[in-house]
Structure 1
Amino acid sequence: METVRVALMGGGTVGSAFAQLLPAHQARFSALGVKVELARVLVRDIEKSRPGIPSRLLTNNPKGFLDDVDVLVEVAGGTTTAGDLVLQALEMGLPVVTANKALLAERWDELREYAEQGDLHYEASVMAGTPIIGALQSLWGNQTLEMHGIVNGTCSYLIRRMEEGASYEQAFKEAGDLGYLEADPNLDVGGIDSAHKICVLGRLTVDPGLSWEKVLRRTRGIQHLTPELLRQARAEGYAIKLVASLYPENGEWVAAVRPVRLPASHPLVTMGSGRNAMVYRGEPVGQLVFAGAGAGGGVTASAVLGDLYRVLLGTPGHLPIPSATPLPQQAVEQLEEV
Structure 2
Amino acid sequence: METVRIALLGAGTVGGCLVELLGAHRGRLEAFGYRPELVSVLVRDAGKPRPGIPPHLLTTDPAAIAEADVLIEVMGGTKLAGELVLRALEADTPVITANKALLAERWGELRGYAEAGLLYYEASVMAGTPVIGALQSLWGNRLLELHGILNGTCNYILGRLEAGIPYAQALKEAQDKGYAEADPTLDVGGFDAAHKLTVLSRLTVDPDFAWEEVRANTRGIEHLTPELLDEARANGQVIRLVASLFPEGGRWVGKVRPVRLPASHPLALMGSVRNAMVCRTQEVGELVFSGAGAGGHVTASAVLGDLYRLVSGQPGHLPIPNALPLPDIRVEALEEA
Same fold (TM > 0.5) = yes
Structure 1 CA distance for aligned equivalents of residues 143 and 18 of structure 2: 34
Distance 2:186 2:148 in 1: 17
Percent identity reads 67
User: For structure 1, which runs of at least 5 residues remain unmatched after alignment?
Assistant: none
Task: Calculate the TM-score normalised by the size of structure 1.
Answer: 0.98
- The answer to whether the 8 Å contact 2:175/2:182 transfers is no
Kept after mapping to 1: 8 A contact 2:238/2:261: yes
1:66 aligns to what? 65
Give the aligned partner of residue 247 of structure 1: 246
**Map 1:50-129 → 2, pairs under 5 A:** 50-62=50-62, 64-129=63-128
Q: Distance in 2 between matches of 1:143 and 1:272?
A: 29
Contact 2:66 2:88 in 1 (8 A): no
Deviation at 1:52, TM superposition (A): 2.1
**Aligned-residue offset at 1:65:** 2.5
Q: TM-score, structure 2 length as denominator?
A: 0.98
Alignment of 1:168-247 (within 5 A): 168-182=167-181, 184-247=183-246
Match of 1:264 in 2: 263
Q: Find the counterpart in structure 1 of residue 156 from structure 2.
A: 157
Q: Match of 2:64, SS?
A: coil
RMSD: 1.0
Other-structure match for 2:314: 315
For 2:45, the equivalent position in structure 1 comes to 45
Instruction: State the match for 2:3 in structure 1.
Output: 3
Residue ranges of structure 2 left out of the alignment (5+ in a row): none
Q: Secondary structure at the match of 1:65?
A: helix
**Preserved CA contact (<8 Å) 2:153 2:273:** no
Count of residues in Structure 1 that have an aligned counterpart in Structure 2: 337
Most deviating of 255-264 and 328-337: 328-337
Look up the equivalent residue of 2:8 and give its one-letter code. Answer: L
Residue-by-residue CA offset, 1:252-311 (whole Å, 9 max, x unaligned): 111110000000000001135431000000011100000000000000000000001111
**Residues 117 and 184 of structure 1: CA distance in aligned 2, closer, same or farther (over 3 Å):** farther
Q: Is the 8 A contact 1:20 1:51 kept in 2?
A: no
> For residues 45 and 332 of structure 2, what CA distance do their matches in structure 1 show?
48
Q: How does 1:120-139 map to 2 (within 5 A)?
A: 120-139=119-138
Deviation at 1:51, TM superposition (A): 2.6
Question: Does the 8 A contact of 2:41 with 2:65 survive in 1?
Answer: no
Q: Distance in 2 between matches of 1:126 and 1:249?
A: 24
Q: Which moved more, 1:111-120 or 1:306-315?
A: 306-315
Q: Which consecutive aligned stretches of 4+ in structure 1 deviate over 2 angstroms post-superposition? A: 271-274
CA distance in 1, matches of 2:269, 2:235: 16
Is the 1:272–1:291 Cα contact (8 Å) retained in structure 2? no
